[in-house]
Amino acid sequence: MLTVRKSQDRGHADHGWLNSFHSFSFAGYYDPRHMGFGNLRVINEDRIAPGTGFGTHSHRNMEIISYVLSGELAHKDSMGNVKGIPPGDVQRMSAGTGVTHSEFNHAAGQTTHFLQIWILPNVQDIAPSYEQKTFAAADKRGALRLVASPDGAQGSVTVHADASVYAGLLEGTEAVERPLDPARKTYVHLVRGALRVNGQPLAAGDAALLENEASLALTDGRDAEVLVFDLAA
């Protein structure tokens, strides 16, 4: 079964300094039909205005991934990490027993556009940790590049969860086909552009939710950037 969730059906909050779209229930947006998918709990598409950001706040027992699309995200946390996250980088923070951090856009005249992703961990109360890696566009061109996995395979960041995340760039005749385990869930989030997922057309911000499916086909990309989540059911 494949279900399409349209971009315009997501939750939306415009705080002036932050324009955010919520794929799943989050903060002031609540929809009991969209509380997550498998162990994927949050995908927020955030745009942070210049000179603003999220002040210091805390997390606990969550795997948090930041995927920057444009601009740069300045990260500072209670583990001592002070990092800039540019496009092409994937940041993973395991909150574990508890961590505080802040995220800012310090660039004048440039909006920071990124995805904030939360995945439920399969271990509780571990020591907080941080990881950040760069994934070249060439490795994602016409392919799905593993960027996060439980064992850090293929140079991906390590998540303490039964989940893997892939990133791809597709244009024109470039296509990806891969078998799926029907006992698991697959979530396809189109970051930008246009794409067909198993023949179904998606536009930027749309998602395809796959359950009991044996295969995945990504075709007909037009400036498409896509994230594919392999998730515990």
Question: CA 111, CA 47: separation in Å to the nearest integer?
Answer: 6
Indicate the annotated binding residues for Fe cation.
Answer: 57, 59, 101, 103
Indicate the annotated binding residues.
Answer: 57, 59, 101, 103
Q: What share of the chain is helix, strand, coil (3-state, %, to 5)?
A: 5, 60, 35
CB 105 within 8 A of CB 49: yes
Cross-strand bridge partners of residue 64: 93, 118
Q: Residues with Cβ < 8 Å from 33, sequence gap 6 or more?
A: none
Q: Provide the b/e sequence for 154-175 (b: ≥16 CB within 10 Å).
A: eebbbbbbbbbbbbbbbeeebe
Judged on CB neighbours under 10 Å (0-12, 13-18, 19+), 192 is middle
Torsion angle, alpha carbons of 75, 78, 80, 84, to 10: 0
Judged on CB neighbours under 10 Å (0-12, 13-18, 19+), 57 is exposed
